[in-house]
Amino acid sequence: MDKTWLEHYDPRVNAEIDPDLYSSVVDIFEQSVKNYGDSTAYINMGHQISFNELNQLSAQFAAYLQNSGFNKGDAIAIMMPNLLQYPVAMFGILRAGLVVVNVNPLYTARELKHQLKDSDAKGIVIVENFACTLEEVVADTAIKHVFLTALGDMLPVPKRWVVNLVVKHVKKMVPSFSLPSSTPFMKAVNEGENLTFNKPQISGEDLAFLQYTGGTTGVSKGAMLTHRNMIANLEQVSGILETVIDKGKDLVVTALPLYHIFALLANGLLFLKYGCPNLLITNPRDMPAFIKELNKYPFAVLPGVNTLFNGLLNTPGFSELDFSKFKFGLGGGMAVQRPVAEKWQKVTGSVLLEGYGLTECSPVVAVTPPQIEEYKGTIGFPVPSTDIKLLDEDGHEVDKGEPGELWVKGPQVMRGYLNREEATNEILKDGWLATGDIARVDEQGYFYIVDRKKDMILVSGFNVFPNEIEEVAAMHDGVVEAAAVGVPHDVSGEVVKLFVVKKDNSLTAEDIIAHCRKHLTGYKIPKQVVFKDELPKTNVGKILRRELRD
């Protein structure tokens, strides 16, 4: 496809980037430490750490890991919400030459076990609130080192004591658990101060992250993202956004969890590269507390998903905030809805930008240029060094304006799925990645998503694949078969609706939901259950989900 969009790039944006500008993500980290040493890197619960402090603490953790039997290339999981411990752990792992496996803290034991076993993780950094889940499965994994932390562990005394006391004994947010061979995370960090850190050789082709995504088979797959993939995407996105970012000054709000690929790149890494302060929100669902926190800081950028923006707009106090320093909101993970975008601009005085990406692309493929003056309902232009083609069902390129499946080629495209050659070959062909999403492009090169992967359900920016829900439902003795589809929802974009053919006539919708709650993360649990005598199928027996949706 002709890159007509390049003609409409801001003149300061280069058409190509150099994915080999740095040898690793660690190089970018070290450059930021050198350039912005005493400036604030991360803020959480009223406490901040500088780039120099982050450098020191992450080096100490890296030293501890190197002296505890971890070898270059080993995988370590991180299972926590947005806390100061997250960047310390993440950069410590990367600096030791190891691979980060991001884990959703709300995973059930079944989901956690699969991810730890599939990634062959040798260690895990986990907040004690979720340690009871790990306890159930740790014996069935390759985990040798468990690093435990409490929510307030990186706060100064006495705030640390107060927060940990309230969380554990007042709010009772830490279920009892037994992990006798675990090490307190901060103890490991502190002991690392007296150990030698040997900087390993890390190349662009080394793995940086194993980022798990849903799959059409219902099995979560580990996208292998190399240092080169991440560097490329950082260069691609920063090439566009740095036209409006004031390096070292603009404060970015991180309300999306850093274990999600969008927040990991767009917040955790991108603004670290810029040397900007990063405000970590541990529990964005507590909207009044979130807004109270926003009121303390002159925030400039807020990446999020449609549900987050909508929630803020509908919470008292948000419209009274000081938006004088605010530059833009950046929507990703799910489609931004026009009424939300229009209300956002009216309240904040700034445009709500929108991007498009997927885990397999590290994740950004396209983004709306920050110079636009109003919401366009578009995912914007492809980022630099990105090729796009739109294909019909016969594999031929469609005419401009016509819908076709979006294929992507660029240095941000993953190496493949870990241990899944067949699944890799299905999505990667001659360097092109088949997204499964249907898009169209206009005369100026703006892209629009027309339809998503046929069966995927998108709940608040998280991928939910029907097969996994159906597999869990089928585990119930009273179920003959089940089919899951997504249905529209005002708040989360979509929710899961489950159609069930039952074996046991006494089975109720409440029984199904309670069963799913034991095996699935909250956003995957069906919100609607409908019983049917039979499910529509093709002549080869494949369930017709589209017919159920319709």
Which domain range does residue 88 map to? 25-38+46-202
- Least Cα distance to 186 among 215, 165, 157 occurs for 157
Query: How many other C-beta atoms are found inside a 10 Å radius of the C-beta of residue 67?
Result: 16
In a domain, 468, yes or no: yes
Last residue of a domain, one of 178, 202, 226: 202
Q: How many domains does the chain have?
A: 2
In a domain, 529, yes or no: yes
Query: How many other C-beta atoms are found inside a 10 Å radius of the C-beta of residue 38?
Result: 8
Tokens found for residue 409? 């080629």
CATH number of 125's domain: 3.40.50.980
Tokens found for residue 358? 């997927």
Please work out, in degrees rounded to the nearest 5, the angle formed at the alpha carbon of residue 11 by the alpha carbons of 5 and 16: 60
pLDDT mean over 284-313? 93
CATH number of 463's domain: 3.30.300.30
Amino acid at 149: T
In a domain, 307, yes or no: no
Tokens found for residue 88? 């310390």
Phi-psi region of 69 (alpha: psi -120 to 50; beta: other; left: phi over 0): left
Q: For residue 453, what pLDDT is reported?
A: 64
Q: In 80-228, where do the E strands start and end?
A: 99-102, 123-127, 145-149, 183-184, 207-213, 221-226
pLDDT at 282 over 90: yes
pLDDT at 217 over 80: no
First to last CA, the chain: 34
CA distance 357 to 362: 8
In a domain, 315, yes or no: no
pLDDT at 345 over 60: yes
pTM of the predicted model as reported, rounded to 2 decimal places: 0.88
In a domain, 277, yes or no: no
Last residue of a domain, one of 148, 171, 202: 202
- Least Cα distance to 210 among 461, 491, 415, 469 occurs for 415
Lowest-confidence segment of 25-34, 337-346, 349-358, 450-459 by average pLDDT = 450-459
Please provide the DSSP assignment of 62-111 as one string.
HHHHHTTT--TT-EEEEE-SS-THHHHHHHHHHHTT-EEEE--TT--HHH
Radius of gyration of the chain (CA): 23
Query: How much of the chain exceeds pLDDT 70, in percent?
Result: 97
Mean pLDDT of the chain: 93
Last residue of a domain, one of 202, 228, 251: 202
In a domain, 512, yes or no: yes
Place of tokens 């964005």: 284
Q: For residue 218, what pLDDT is reported?
A: 57
Q: With contact defined as beta carbons under 8 Å apart, do 352 and 376 qualify?
A: no
* pLDDT per position as a tens digit, 266-276: 999 999 999 99
Helices (H), 434-507: 466-474
In a domain, 207, yes or no: no
pLDDT mean over 120-137? 98
Q: How many CA atoms lie within 13 A of 51 on its CB side?
A: 22
pLDDT at 382 over 60: yes
- 366, with CB counted inside 10 A (0-12, 13-18, 19+), is buried
CA distance 44 to 57: 16
pLDDT at 214 over 70: no
With residues binned 3-state (H G I as helix, E B as strand, rest as coil), the percentages for the chain, rounded to 5, are: 35, 25, 40
Amino acid at 215: G
In a domain, 235, yes or no: no
